Amino acid sequence: MIVRPKASLFDILFAIRGSIAGRVAWRCLFITVLACVVVLTGDFHLEPMSHLGTAPFGLIGIAISIFMSFRNSAAYDRWWEGRKQWGDLLVQVRSLARELSDLDDETKKRLFVPLIAYVNALSARLRDEDESAAIRQWKIEVPAGPNICDVLLRRIGTDLIALNKSGVLSDWRYSSIAIRMNAIASVQAACERIKSTPLPFAYTLLIHRSVYLFCVLLPFALAPQLGWGTPVIVAFISYTFFGLDAIGDDLAEPFAPADNSLPIKALTRVVERELMDFVGMKPLPDELQPVAYVLS
């Protein structure tokens, strides 16, 4: 996720780091060079477009803008749903710690160190990384399987059942804590649903093709009327369209390691620090900070 202080006018006009400009620069440059070639060659333009003028392109541009707004809105819904799920995970973890704060230190570690490992494993799972490597530092042995996160939750659940049977946790306390554990499992299921159900490919492909075709053909329509003003106008329009397209791609995959995706590792570190402090594990790791204005 891009994190920047309040932008000044200079930042708005010239900032590269933390913006989408670097990712779309080559595409915009290609369209701008194409516009310069069209203007330089003079009569080199598509004859039907010179008769049509710019009016059809204005209508097509509006249609594409509306279409992109719907697509980016759908992508943002996925991004925001992912953020809400991780917020709910933090709520459930904090509530669980509060409800079990009277346990002895050894029991706390037996329950909450696997929970720290679980959050790290979930982060790795959502980013297609090695779940086993993500929990290695916590020295927890789990059998290899398709869902290490679920194995860790089952281990915690088994320990909670044992505490209930031994009388450490009364039945009503166990029921309340079981609800918390089910909520944590629901967060994982919701995140997996978002990750495994992308926006329809045909929908995204149509946007990509329409934007590229529009930007490539636009110089041929503008050149006869605007002359050397064409590259300037085309550069601005292509930057806007390609930028919106790229941002939509990032938002549609909220757990991917992209600039505008969710800062999963930073959110994981928040949970990690709070639970380590709860069980008395020192020193606490530092909070993750943005690197080149990007928080991972």
Q: According to the model, what pLDDT value does residue 17 have?
A: 64
Q: According to the model, what pLDDT value does residue 182 have?
A: 95
- C-alpha distances (whole Å) from 144 to each of 147, 150, 152 are 8, 12, 12
Q: According to the model, what pLDDT value does residue 221 have?
A: 81
Q: 266: helix, coil or strand?
A: helix
In terms of phi and psi (left: phi > 0; alpha: psi -120 to 50; beta: otherwise), the region of 51 is alpha
Burial class (CB in 10 A: 0-12, 13-18, 19+), 157: middle
Q: What are phi and psi of 211, to 5 degrees?
A: -65, -45
Those residues whose C-beta lies under 8 Å from the C-beta of residue 268, and which sit 6 or more positions away, are 119, 120, 122, 123
Q: According to the model, what pLDDT value does residue 146 have?
A: 85
Rounded distance, CA 16 to CA 244, Å?
16
Q: Model's pTM, two decimal places?
A: 0.86
Q: According to the model, what pLDDT value does residue 225 have?
A: 80
Q: What is the pLDDT along the chain (296 residues), one digit of tens a residue?
A: 777 777 666 666 666 666 777 788 889 999 999 999 888 886 545 555 555 566 677 778 888 888 888 888 999 999 999 999 999 999 999 999 999 999 989 999 999 999 999 999 999 999 999 999 999 888 888 887 788 999 999 999 999 999 999 999 999 999 999 999 999 999 999 999 999 998 888 888 888 888 898 888 888 888 878 888 889 999 999 998 898 888 888 899 999 988 888 999 999 999 999 999 999 998 999 998 888 777 88
